[in-house]
Amino acid sequence: MKCAVIQFPGSNCDVDALKAIEETTSQPVDLVWHTARDLSSYDLIVVPGGFSYGDYLRAGAIAKFAPAMKEVEKAAADGRFVLGICNGFQVLTESGLLEGALRRNDSLQFRCEMTELVVANHHTAFTRHYAVGERIVIPIAHGEGNYYADEQTLKKLKKHGQIVFRYAKEHNPNGSVDDIAGIVNERGNVLGMMPHPERAIHSRLGSADGRRLFTSILEVWGETHAAIQS
């Protein structure tokens, strides 16, 4: 499985993502600059956390016009895997690859802490190594993670099982509607989430619960790949 992590000016979780993928899957990972015009050889593209373009205008608003984002759109359309973490989630909603938007936290505070998540859908390529309803601990670090979708969109997300992670009921850190922490697109190959699984890959980091997200992707990729070869 060939993986790429996109670096925008202002990304700051790019190397964490690279190390996490290497550590959990032993697959090759490249850091690619936001000006990259051909990412067609990558099976997984990560849009990492940080403050792309200084979060000017709105978080993710300017990053969506980077040449590399055209390649992310192609990957999504091809059924390859796209993972947007934190600022990456904001970029994916701004670019329309995922529904909804991320607003300022309702507390107006930047929240940097461990959060308890509930796995809402374990039938995705990103979550098959979790159990449905399982509680996992993954850190957050954001000021604008307050997910919003209108009633109609929310209904659609629920109907298609697109809500993948929720904050545990009593621990919603930002005011997200329906406690949403992460969603996939309808096809299930694009995941956006505010919490940072790449920062939770070893108990020494406070949690190893993020590991299975990466091992899930590798397993699904392996099966598809084997199916194509046979």
Partner 1 sequence: MDFLAKIYITLKESVLDPQGTAVTHALHTLHYRTVSDVRVGKYMEVTLSAASTEEASTLIRGMCDDLLTNPVIEKYTYELVEA
By annotation, the residues acting in catalysis are 86, 196, 198
Contact between 70 and partner 1 per CB under 8 A: no
**CA gap 184, 100 in Å, rounded:** 11
Q: Which single residue is written with the structure tokens 């461990």?
A: 114
User: Which tokens go with 74?
Assistant: 């192609």
Q: Is 40 exposed, middle or buried (0-12, 13-18, 19+ CB in 10 A)?
A: exposed
Q: Does 13 bind partner 1 (CB under 8 A)?
A: no
Among 61, 137, 141, 205, binds partner 1 (CB under 8 A): 61
* Nearest to partner 1 of 127, 146 (CB atom): 146
Would you say 60 or 197 has its CB closer to partner 1?
60
**Ramachandran region of residue 54, left (φ > 0), alpha (ψ -120 to 50) or beta?**
left
Give just the sign of the alpha carbon dihedral 160, 46, 140, 109.
Answer: negative
Closest CA to 138 of 187, 89, 182: 182
| Residue 55 sits in the site that holds partner 1 (CB under 8 A) | no
In terms of residues, how long is the chain? Answer: 230
The residue from 58, 123, 135, 225 that contacts partner 1 (CB under 8 A) is 58
Q: Which of residues 153-182 bind partner 1 (CB under 8 A)?
A: 175
Shorter beta-carbon distance to partner 1: residue 116 or 144: 144
Smaller CB distance to partner 1: residue 22 or 178? Answer: 178
Asked if 80 contacts 39 with a C-beta cutoff of 8 angstroms, the reply is: no
* Binds partner 1 (CB under 8 A): choice among 19, 70, 74, 104: 104
Per-residue contact track with partner 1, 126 to 155, x per CB under 8 A?
Answer: --------------------x-xxx-----
**Cβ atoms of residues 89 and 101 within 8 Å:** no
Binding site for partner 1 (CB under 8 A): 57-58, 61-62, 65, 93-94, 100-101, 103-108, 146, 148-150, 175
